[in-house]
A and B are shown apart, each in its own frame.
Chain A
Amino acid sequence: MDKNRDIFISILDNHKGIIFKIVNSYCKDVTDKQDLIQEIIIQLWISFAKYNNQFKLSTWIYRIALNTSISFYRRNKVRKEKTVLASAILETTLKSDEPFQEDPDLIKLQGFIQELKELDKALILLYLDGLSQKEISKIIGITSTNVGSKIERIKKMLKQKFKKY
């Protein structure tokens, strides 16, 4: 049990970037982010025993983290809309976000991604993280061609937004 726990913690530590990026794309306020991180970790721990090592660890983490985030996002959508102001205040007071403030393009891109629909968010996150169409189709559960066309559409949309703002 302890050995499993240590392995699990080390996996989490090595892939924490994936989790943070997904969480930041699906949640705006700090409390939601913390809740979602916890939920993802719980889901990962539950499915850790069933982990099939034919898949890459990152693919497994992406799949679980995205599924958890999408259902979390749907569940919290209504509540979130009502607490936008409070969360905005909380976020701006977070000093540890300072490194992000130095990169306005990254902030814009995060903002644009947050505005996307939940499935589109997942697709572009996976694309930007360098996963192949085949890998993305495995994680999301749609055909590779469909992945390609959807990503093209999202990229076009993001580029337009960059032009506009």
Chain B
Amino acid sequence: MKDIELVNIWKSYDQKLDEVLSLNKEIVFELTKEKISKTIRTMRRPKKVILLIGIPYTLFLYLLTFIGYNSKGIFVMFGFGSISLIMTAIIIGYFYHIYLINSISSTQEIFDVQKKISELKISSFNVVRLAIIQIPFWSICWMSLDAFKKSPIIYGGVNLIVLLVLIYLSYWLYKSLNPRYTNSKVRKFFLSGTEWEPIKKACEILEQLKDIRK
């Protein structure tokens, strides 16, 4: 055996190493994609549970609106009617989330997965905001036109204060959810739990995938 033969055997090492590394990269990439869809799929159950509770609850709100309409309870009708509409939008949002979750698969291109996760994130965020918007309407539901007529100053004043407080609370919560306030405790509170952690985790994994593809 000549020296050059030894060196040539060793030279083939670099080529094999490149093959192994690109193979490893591909395996890691595919496994990571699978991990993303698995992580996202864990959100399916809590979303379904919320729909199971949310649909009868919304129907019940519509029933209250209908009762308010029949009994000419203008505040009841307006209050529950508004909450019912908001809840309907939230329910539609949850159906859309489940559709997005089901459509995320490890066989898709990473760009498509990333797009769907972004849509899921934005839609989940909008659903939280919608839920916050309904807060002031809860004070309207219980108002009575007769009571306003009888005691416009005390009854009217108290209800106005409650309504203004709830409007402010709703505005403050809405504002605190703004993505600019990343350290906001309100934001951390609302954007956590079983409905948010998988999205956060999936986004982190997506970032790692970008590094792998570099």
A35–B63 alpha-carbon span in the complex (Å):
65
Whether B17 and A163, one on each chain, are in contact in the complex, defined by CB atoms closer than 8 angstroms, is: no
Whether A98 lies near B1 (C-beta < 8 A) is no
Majority SS at the chain B contact face: helix
Does A138 have its Cβ within 8 Å of any Cβ on chain B?
no
Main secondary structure of the interface of A (DSSP, over half): helix
Chain A stretch 99-121: residues in CB contact (< 8 A) with chain B? 99-100, 103, 105-106, 109-110
How near does chain B come to A100, taking the closest CB pair, in angstroms?
A: 5
Does A96 touch B at the CB level, under 8 Å?
A: yes
A162: chain B residues at CB < 8 Å are: 1
A96-B23, A96-B27, A99-B23 given as contacts; is B13 within 8 A of A106 (CB)?
yes
Smallest CB separation, A78 vs chain B (Å): 29
A89 within 8 A of B: no
Our pick among A96, A103, A129, A163 for the contact of B12 (Cβ within 8 Å) is A103
Bits for A36-48, please: 1 = Cβ < 8 Å to B, else 0.
0000000000000
Complex interface: chain B residues within 8 A of A2 (CB):
none
Q: Flag whether B9 is at the interface (Cβ < 8 A).
A: yes
**Is A16 an interface residue, CB under 8 A from the partner?**
yes
Q: What residues on A are CB-neighbors of B18 within 8 Å?
A: 17
Q: What's the minimum C-beta distance from B182 to chain A, rounded to whole angstroms?
A: 19
Task: Give, as a whole number of angstroms, the nearest-CB distance from B18 to chain A.
Answer: 8
Per-position binary interface string of chain B over residues 1-29, scored 1 when its CB falls under 8 Å from any chain A CB and 0 otherwise: 10100110110111011111101100100
Q: Give residues in A with beta carbon < 8 Å to B.
A: 16-17, 20-21, 95-100, 103, 105-106, 109-110, 128-130, 155, 158-159, 162-163
Residues of B within 8 A of A (CB): 1, 3, 6-7, 9-10, 12-14, 16-21, 23-24, 27
